[in-house]
Amino acid sequence: MSDRTPAGQFLDAAIELLRRVRDEEADSIAAAGALLADTVADGGRLFAFGAGHSSLAAQDLVYRAGGLALMNLLAVPGVVGVDVMPAPLGSALERVDGLASAVLDSSPLRAGDALLIISLSGRNALPVEMALSARALGVKVIGVTSVAYASETTSRHSSGTYLKDHCDLVLDSKIAVGDAELTHDKVPAPFAPASTVVTSALLQAVMATTAATLADRGVEPPLLRSGNVDGGHDWNARVMERYGDRIFYRY
């Protein structure tokens, strides 16, 4: 029996989106996992970037129990979360031309690395320029976005293009424009966003594919363990010592 409460409706909507991602993005997830596995095996480093709430999915990949130790956060000051005051400043910075290039110029990103760029709309200057500039450096770019935005909104980049147009691979989160799954006859705006749930799950599916792909090739994936299980800290210390030149979130 279907649960028609708001909670039940939201969870059903999120589950349906996850089913679509599983079924419709399977080939892209496999390709992304293979690309990251190639990068790791070839001595490259892994980075993730997202602005605003898209940064949540990027942060979920970094220094993560069960995750790849080589995944680093490419942080842009002022756009990684709502800790910036006033909060709309972060949104404004996403539309600033030249910011991504300045960040990349001072980052450790180099040819042979891989960069995940997460942007729900993919329309703002920052993620578009980030993809353009990173690829110019010889970095492989995986874009994680809702492709629907490209047909239902206008680009805010001077080129008129979107994130999806400048990636080696694109993962489509299937999120509808506006990122709100529910409506109510007494509520004047749609509500209940699902992009964080779906995007995080999509990216963890890629990470799982990367780890398994490395293992199938005979390469031990550089995984972290929880610090809250016995031996976890010692395990992580060994991993960080071995891969210290490819990890940028440690002292």
What is the distance between the alpha carbons of residues 92 and 220, in angstroms, rounded to a whole number? 42
**pLDDT tens digits, one per residue of 10-21:** 999 999 999 999
Burial of 77: CB neighbours in 10 Å, binned 0-12, 13-18, 19+: exposed
Is the C-alpha dihedral spanning 64, 67, 69, 70 positive or negative?
negative
**pLDDT value of position 75:** 85
**pLDDT value of position 76:** 82
What is the distance between the alpha carbons of residues 220 and 68, in angstroms, rounded to a whole number? 11
- Token pair belonging to 156: 């805010």
With contact defined as beta carbons under 8 Å apart, do 131 and 141 qualify? yes
Tokens 């029996």 belong to 1
Classify 174 in phi/psi space as left (phi over 0), alpha (psi -120 to 50) or beta. left
| Alpha-carbon distance values, 104 to 13, 30, 176, 216, 248 (Å) | 37, 27, 30, 33, 14
Looking at the chain, how many residues does it have?
A: 251
With contact defined as beta carbons under 8 Å apart, do 58 and 215 qualify? no
**pLDDT value of position 93:** 75
**pLDDT value of position 90:** 75
- Token pair belonging to 246: 């490819």
- Token pair belonging to 171: 């993962």
- Token pair belonging to 82: 């709502």
What is the distance between the alpha carbons of residues 16 and 3, in angstroms, rounded to a whole number? 14
With contact defined as beta carbons under 8 Å apart, do 160 and 167 qualify? no
What is the distance between the alpha carbons of residues 89 and 99, in angstroms, rounded to a whole number? 14
Looking at residue 246, the DSSP 8-state letter turns out to be G
- Token pair belonging to 204: 């963890």
**pLDDT tens digits, one per residue of 141-193:** 999 999 999 999 999 988 999 999 999 999 999 999 999 999 999 999 999 99
Counting as low any pLDDT under 70, the low residues of the chain are: 1-2, 251
Task: Tell how strand 182-184 and strand 187-191 pair up.
Answer: antiparallel
> Cα 86–91–94 angle (5° rounding)?
135
Element of type H or E holding 151: helix 148-152
